[in-house]
C-alpha cells in the first residue's frame, strides 16, 4: 500500500472515531439531563379511577335505571358517568344522557332507611325521577323543537332539555322546556303638575283629639305578569304549556273589620 493511501485511511479512521465519541457524549448528556414533568391531567369519573365505595354506588345507580325499563345495550350506548360524590352528607351519581343532538343530566341522590330488622336499605331518587322508562330511538331536531315551542308559547328564552317522568300515568320522556318572554313594561302615567285647589272648609292642621284621616299604605302593588311555560316532547313533538308568575306572589289583602251599627 502506498504512503498516500495509508495516510488517507488513517485520516478516515480518526474522523470515524471522533464522530462516534461525539455521539456517545450526546447520548450520555441526554440521559443525565432532567426530563420535563407532564402536567397532571384532571381526574375523570372513569370506572378505573373509582374507589370500591364509589364503584358500588355507580353499579347500584345503573341497576336502578335499568329497573325502570331501559335495556342494557341502550344504557351502555347513551349513558355516560359524569361525577360521583361519596361523602357522609352527599352521596350522588351524575349521569349524562345523550341521544341524537340532545343531552340531559340525570342526578341520582342516594339515601337510606332502616327496615324492621334493623338493616340499612339504600334508596335512589333516579327511580322516582324516571318511574317508567323506555329506549328512545328517534327524536326531532333542536330546530324543530324550537319552531314548535314558538308556535306554542310565542317568543321564549333559551330553553333546556330535561329527562324525567311526565304525564298521567308518569313515564320518562326527553322534554325541551322554555319560558315565554315577559311583555314589555309600560311607562308609568305622569301626574299633572297643577295642584288641586284646597277646600275652604279644610283646615291646615287637624284639631287635637279629632279623628283626622291618616295616610294609609295600601297593601299589594303592581301585579306581576303571568308567563307561559312550554314543554316539547322530543319524541312526539307534542307541546304542553302552562302558566307561571314572575317573582313572588303578592301577599293577601288583610280583611277589613265588619262595621257595627250603633
Read off the pLDDT of residues 216-249 as tens digits, 9 standing for 90 and up. Answer: 445 545 566 788 999 999 999 999 999 876 655 5
Q: Give mean pLDDT, residues 44-63.
A: 86
The confidence score (pLDDT) of residue 2 equals: 53
- Which residues make Cβ contacts (< 8 Å) with residue 85, sequence separation at least 6? 91, 92, 93, 94
The pLDDT-based confidence of 140 (bands split at 50, 70, 90) is: very high
Residue 55 half-sphere exposure toward CB, CA atoms < 13 A: 7
The confidence score (pLDDT) of residue 251 equals: 60
pTM flag (> 0.85): no
The confidence score (pLDDT) of residue 184 equals: 74
The confidence score (pLDDT) of residue 226 equals: 81
Q: Is the pLDDT of residue 198 over 90?
A: no
Q: Is the pLDDT of residue 202 over 70?
A: no
Contact 230, 208 (CB under 8 A): no
**Residue matched to cell numbers 331501559:** 70
Residue 97's alpha-carbon distances to 93, 104, 114, 178, 218, in angstroms, are: 13, 5, 32, 19, 51
Q: What share of the chain is helix, strand, coil (3-state, %, to 5)?
A: 30, 25, 45
Residue 252's alpha-carbon distances to 47, 98, 218, 257, in angstroms, are: 54, 45, 12, 15
The confidence score (pLDDT) of residue 41 equals: 33
Phi/psi of residue 60, each to 5°?
Answer: -70, -40
The confidence score (pLDDT) of residue 157 equals: 86
The confidence score (pLDDT) of residue 230 equals: 94
Instruction: Tell me the average pLDDT of the chain.
Output: 77
Q: Give mean pLDDT, residues 54-71.
A: 97
- Distance CA(74)–CA(172), nearest Å, equals 15
Amino acid at each position: 500500500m502506498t504512503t498516500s493511501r495509508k495516510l488517507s485511511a488513517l485520516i478516515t479512521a480518526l474522523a470515524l472515531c471522533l464522530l462516534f465519541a461525539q455521539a456517545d457524549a450526546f447520548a450520555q448528556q441526554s440521559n443525565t439531563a432532567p426530563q420535563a414533568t407532564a402536567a397532571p391531567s384532571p381526574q375523570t369519573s372513569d370506572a378505573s379511577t373509582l374507589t370500591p365505595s364509589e364503584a358500588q354506588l355507580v353499579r347500584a345507580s345503573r341497576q336502578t335505571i335499568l329497573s325502570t325499563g331501559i335495556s342494557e345495550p341502550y344504557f351502555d350506548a347513551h349513558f355516560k358517568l359524569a361525577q360521583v360524590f361519596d361523602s357522609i352528607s352527599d352521596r350522588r351519581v351524575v349521569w349524562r344522557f345523550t341521544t341524537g343532538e340532545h343531552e340531559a343530566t340525570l342526578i341520582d341522590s342516594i339515601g337510606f332507611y332502616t327496615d324492621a330488622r334493623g338493616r340499612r336499605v339504600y334508596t335512589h331518587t333516579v327511580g322516582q325521577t324516571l318511574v317508567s322508562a323506555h329506549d328512545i330511538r328517534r327524536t326531532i331536531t333542536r330546530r324543530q323543537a324550537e319552531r314548535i315551542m314558538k308556535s306554542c308559547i310565542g317568543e321564549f328564552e333559551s330553553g333546556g332539555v330535561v329527562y324525567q317522568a311526565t304525564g298521567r300515568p308518569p313515564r320518562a320522556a326527553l322534554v325541551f322546556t322554555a319560558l315565554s318572554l315577559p311583555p314589555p313594561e309600560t311607562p308609568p302615567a305622569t301626574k299633572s303638575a297643577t295642584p288641586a285647589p284646597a277646600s275652604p272648609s279644610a283646615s291646615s292642621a287637624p284639631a287635637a283629639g279629632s279623628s283626622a284621616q291618616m295616610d294609609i299604605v295600601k297593601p299589594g302593588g303592581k301585579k306581576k305578569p303571568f308567563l307561559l311555560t312550554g314543554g316539547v316532547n322530543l319524541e312526539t313533538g307534542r307541546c304542553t304549556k302552562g302558566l307561571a308568575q314572575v317573582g313572588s306572589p303578592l301577599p293577601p289583602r288583610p280583611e277589613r273589620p265588619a262595621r257595627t251599627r250603633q
